[in-house]
């Protein structure tokens, strides 16, 4: 089969993939960027490359690109049915799109995690209110970049919020309440980045009450100024989010992260956990579109995007060998 490139990269955000594209250009990789915002495909189309790399994000809807998410999922499923290999493919992306599925995976793997209640109707969740201990976190099922996360103090607070702000039901009319654990603000949360099943680096993230912890410098700049993220600041006047290298991440946390990556079929991704005030670790978020932070990786002595390109080159060789057999079955 004649391919147009050796790698196709699916993306939606206009800035997040630029460091990866620069690294691919630097290494003279023959790749095609595939913009998901306005796109079309046919079931009869030949694959663009023997290997695809999905970089779509659940938060596309906050940028007005709601249609990019179902398109990406449909496109990847069609490719994979035809035998085309997609890194961070349909299963991984579907997991990132569902906080409920992530909670179920944590439970299945025996990974410590907050309990969640998923609902599509206020009366239905009211019937479960005796199970809740306030405060709880209200989150959209699809999530992404901390969008529309609110600390809810009571059922009356929840009811008022959803009555006054019906857009919180977007994009899919499914919400969840997540058990809340107070943490030491000075410790923040921990985000571990994995590449090819192994820990790339870990960092502590000090949020100062914010929920948008996106590590991309374009969203949370190094100097805390001039970010261009569409997610509004949750706490007016709060200091910017801070990111610190965390070389001493517990071995047990890393092993849990490896298990999550493998079970979730993620090739590249981030896992976040918090430390409760009594010292327990609680895992609460899985990110398939991992926005790597160069300054953190550099403190460990490497360029994160060069590592990603190394991984992609290795996977391209594997896919090139398998592609003729896959193409023969199309």
166-191 pLDDT, tens digit per residue, is: 999 988 999 999 999 999 999 999 99
Dig out the tokens for 70 from the structure: 């179902």
Q: pTM for the complete prediction? A: 0.93
Between 328 and 318, name the one with better pLDDT.
318
Per-residue pLDDT band for 326 (boundaries 50, 70, 90) equals very low
Instruction: Kindly give the pairing relationship between strand 136-140 and strand 242-245.
Output: unpaired
- Per-residue model confidence (pLDDT) at position 207: 87
Residue 155 has pLDDT above 50, yes or no: yes
The torsion defined by the Cα of 85, 86, 91 and 97, in degrees rounded to 10, comes to: -170
Of all helices (H) and strands (E), which one includes residue 106?
A: helix 99-109
Is 171:181 a contact under the CB 8 Å cutoff? no
Antiparallel, parallel or unpaired: β 136-140 and 189-195? unpaired
**What is the structure's pLDDT at 330?**
26
pLDDT digits (tens, 9 = 90+) for 68-84: 999 999 999 999 999 99
For residues 147 and 145, give the distance between their C-alpha atoms in angstroms, rounded to a whole number: 5
260 phi/psi in degrees, rounded to 5: -65, -45
Collapse the DSSP code of 284 into the 3-class scheme (helix H, G, I; strand E, B; otherwise coil) and give the result. strand
Note the pLDDT tens digit of each residue in 268-290.
999 999 999 999 999 999 999 88
**What's the pLDDT at 328?**
33
> Distance between CA atoms of 72 and 12, rounded to whole angstroms?
9
Per-residue pLDDT at 227 exceeds 80: no
Query: Whose CA is closest to 9, among 324, 323, 305, 330?
Result: 305
Tokens of 141: 């099922």
* Cα–Cα distance measured from residue 177 to residue 229, given in angstroms and rounded to the nearest whole number: 25
**Domains of the chain by range and CATH?**
7-95+306-328 (3.40.50.20), 116-179 (3.30.1490), 183-301 (3.30.470.20)
Region 150-177: what's the mean pLDDT? 95
- Percent of the chain scoring above 90 in pLDDT: 79
């Amino acid at each position: 089969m004649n391919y147009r490139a050796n790698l196709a990269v699916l993306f939606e955000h206009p800035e997040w993939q630029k460091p990866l594209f620069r690294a691919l250009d630097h290494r003279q990789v023959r790749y095609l960027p595939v913009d998901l915002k306005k796109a079309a495909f046919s079931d009869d189309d030949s694959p663009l490359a023997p290997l695809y790399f999905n970089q779509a994000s659940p938060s596309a809807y906050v940028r007005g690109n709601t249609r990019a998410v179902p398109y990406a999922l449909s496109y990847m499923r069609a490719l994979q049915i035809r035998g085309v290999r997609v890194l961070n493919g349909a299963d991984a992306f579907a997991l990132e799109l569902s906080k409920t599925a992530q909670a179920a995976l944590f439970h299945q793997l025996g990974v410590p995690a907050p309990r969640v209640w998923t609902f599509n109707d206020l009366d239905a969740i009211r019937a479960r209110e005796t199970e809740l201990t306030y405060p709880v976190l209200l989150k959209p099922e699809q999530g992404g970049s901390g969008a529309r996360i609110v600390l809810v103090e009571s059922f009356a607070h929840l009811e008022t919020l959803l009555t006054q702000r019906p857009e919180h039901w977007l994009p899919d009319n499914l919400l969840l309440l997540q058990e809340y654990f107070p943490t030491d603000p000075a410790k923040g949360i921990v985000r571990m980045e994995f590449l090819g099943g192994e820990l790339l680096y870990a960092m502590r993230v000090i949020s100062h009450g914010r929920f948008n912890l996106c590590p991309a410098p374009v969203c949370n700049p190094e100097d805390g100024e001039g970010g261009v993220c569409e997610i509004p600041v949750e706490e007016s006047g709060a200091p910017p989010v801070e990111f610190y290298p965390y070389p001493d991440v517990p071995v047990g946390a890393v092993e849990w992260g490896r298990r999550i990556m493998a079970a979730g079929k993620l090739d590249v991704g981030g896992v976040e956990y918090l430390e409760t005030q009594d010292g327990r670790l609680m895992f609460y978020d899985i990110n398939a579109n991992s926005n790597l932070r160069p300054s953190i990786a550099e403190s460990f002595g490497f360029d994160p995007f060069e590592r990603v390109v190394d991984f992609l080159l290795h996977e391209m060789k594997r896919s090139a060998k398998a592609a003729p057999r896959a193409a023969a079955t199309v």
